[in-house]
């Protein structure tokens, strides 16, 4: 049984201990401040007498420290030091998760906690239960108030039939034994937890939600967040991005979302009009004649690839050929022939695309390709028409 110093003093970062047992790279001490992980929070790393502790876990009531290549034996004295910057960030993240989830579930009472991740790279809770941006915004404001109120965070152990648990976030079926460790954030939150927490909400500085995205299974949502300095930096960056986005849209920052909504609707109308005009232009195409075969060609700027592909399929259902393209950030070019015309469209297309640094592939009678630099689409189309004419003329000759 290892004495867990972090439970009584979560701020303990250096300690002396005796080696109880060494199993390969793993070392068991009589006491430790290394947190072995749990509740979604990553285990600590650090050093034992200067040797790196790269992993920590618990088994059979003991905490095991992985110290690769150590030569420790039972009875040796060691000095442990945990990577405090990393651990303090995780502790704040973990406490921030208690506070944030509590505020989220007040804004959205049906909310269920599915999973927690508190790591150096990511802090998030996966939840289920119809969370939306309004609830997130309300919760972040409340969390900010709790931080501003500098609430004490206390821990105590009660028995599992203690009436205080009726008001707590606790899953008793997951707790073995009679003792339940209860963590309270002022009068804002009470939860059962065996993890480590800071002692005052003031230490969190700030809790900022940085993402709300769909998670698996369908219906779950992942709420990503940051605390402390990282939250402040990100808030400042995001605020500047919003100001710049508002400027780009010609809106005042407070009207950013409605201006964006208007712009998106406008874009949808434009796209629908473009599809209609494009479909008409494709239908109205006048073919040229190469060696007795009708050839339809054209570049349709801004048209979606599917409309152009469908038009090519329609054209070659008769004894005809086409070279059709569309231009966006990149350009797409199709070379297609009725299967009765024995032309290797992939070879024709690649002869044309070679000139502009593009590539294509597909079936012998239907090749699709493209390249960067939308300004070279016209040149590629002209080259493809020339290559196709050459091929058809040489077949006839």
Binding residues for Zn ion, rule: CB under 5 A, are 193, 195
Q: Which is nearer to Zn ion, 193 or 337 (CB)?
A: 193
Cβ atoms 325, 300 nearer than 8 A: yes
Cα–Cα distance between 200 and 202 in angstroms, integer?
Answer: 5
- In a 10 Å sphere around its CB, with 0-12 CB exposed, 13-18 middle and 19+ buried, how is residue 352 labelled? buried
Cα–Cα distance between 137 and 39 in angstroms, integer?
Answer: 25
The DSSP H or E segment spanning 65 is strand 62-66
C-beta of 246: minimal distance to Zn ion in Å? Answer: 39
Q: Which is nearer to Zn ion, 139 or 170 (CB)?
A: 170
Q: Which is nearer to Zn ion, 123 or 376 (CB)?
A: 123
Q: Which is nearer to Zn ion, 35 or 366 (CB)?
A: 35
What is the edge-to-edge ordering of all strands in the sheet holding 207-215? 112-118, 123-128, 220-227, 207-215
C-beta of 169: minimal distance to Zn ion in Å? Answer: 10
C-beta of 195: minimal distance to Zn ion in Å? Answer: 4
C-beta of 110: minimal distance to Zn ion in Å? Answer: 22
C-beta of 193: minimal distance to Zn ion in Å? Answer: 3
Q: Which residue number has the CB closest to Zn ion?
A: 193
What number of CA atoms fall less than 13 Å from residue 209's CA on the CB side?
A: 27
Cα–Cα distance between 260 and 249 in angstroms, integer?
Answer: 7
C-beta of 105: minimal distance to Zn ion in Å? Answer: 15
Cα–Cα distance between 321 and 288 in angstroms, integer?
Answer: 10
Q: Which is nearer to Zn ion, 170 or 193 (CB)?
A: 193
Q: Which is nearer to Zn ion, 197 or 376 (CB)?
A: 197
């Amino acid at each position: 049984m290892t004495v867990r110093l972090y439970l009584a003093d979560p701020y303990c970062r250096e300690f002396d201990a005796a080696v109880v047992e060494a199993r390969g790279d793993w070392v068991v001490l009589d006491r430790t401040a290394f947190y072995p992980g749990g509740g979604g929070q990553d285990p600590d790393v650090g050093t034992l007498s200067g040797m790196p502790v790269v992993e920590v876990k618990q088994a059979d009531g003991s905490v095991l420290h992985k110290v690769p290549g150590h030569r420790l034996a039972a009875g040796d004295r060691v000095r442990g030091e945990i990577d405090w910057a990393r651990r303090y960030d995780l502790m704040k993240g973990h406490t921030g998760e208690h506070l944030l989830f509590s505020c989220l579930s007040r804004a959205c009472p049906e909310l269920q906690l599915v999973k927690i991740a508190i790591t150096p790279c990511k802090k998030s809770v996966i939840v289920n239960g119809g969370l939306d941006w309004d609830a997130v915004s309300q919760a972040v404001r409340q969390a900010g108030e709790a931080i501003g109120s500098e609430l004490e965070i206390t821990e105590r152990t009660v028995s599992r039939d203690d009436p205080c648990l009726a008001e707590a976030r606790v899953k008793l079926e997951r707790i073995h034994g009679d003792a339940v460790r209860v963590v309270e954030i002022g009068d804002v939150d009470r939860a059962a937890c065996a993890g480590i927490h800071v002692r005052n909400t003031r230490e969190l500085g700030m809790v900022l939600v940085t993402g709300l995205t769909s998670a698996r299974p369908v219906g779950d949502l992942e709420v990503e967040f940051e605390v402390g300095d990282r939250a402040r930096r990100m808030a400042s960056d995001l605020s500047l991005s919003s100001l710049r986005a508002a400027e780009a849209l010609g809106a005042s920052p407070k009207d950013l979302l409605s201006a964006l909504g208007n712009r998106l609707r406008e874009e949808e109308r434009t796209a629908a009009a473009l599809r209609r005009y494009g479909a008409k232009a494709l239908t109205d195409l006048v073919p040229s004649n190469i060696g007795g075969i009708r050839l339809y060609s054209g570049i349709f700027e801004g048209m979606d690839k599917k409309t152009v592909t469908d038009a090519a399929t329609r054209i070659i259902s008769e004894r005809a050929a086409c070279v059709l393209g569309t231009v966006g950030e990149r350009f797409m070019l199709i070379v297609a022939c009725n299967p009765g015309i024995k032309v290797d469209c992939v070879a024709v297309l690649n002869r044309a695309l070679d000139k502009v640094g593009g590539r294509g592939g597909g079936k012998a009678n239907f090749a699709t390709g493209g390249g960067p630099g939308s300004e070279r689409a016209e040149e590629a189309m002209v080259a493809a028409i020339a290559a196709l004419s050459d091929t058809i003329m040489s077949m006839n000759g």
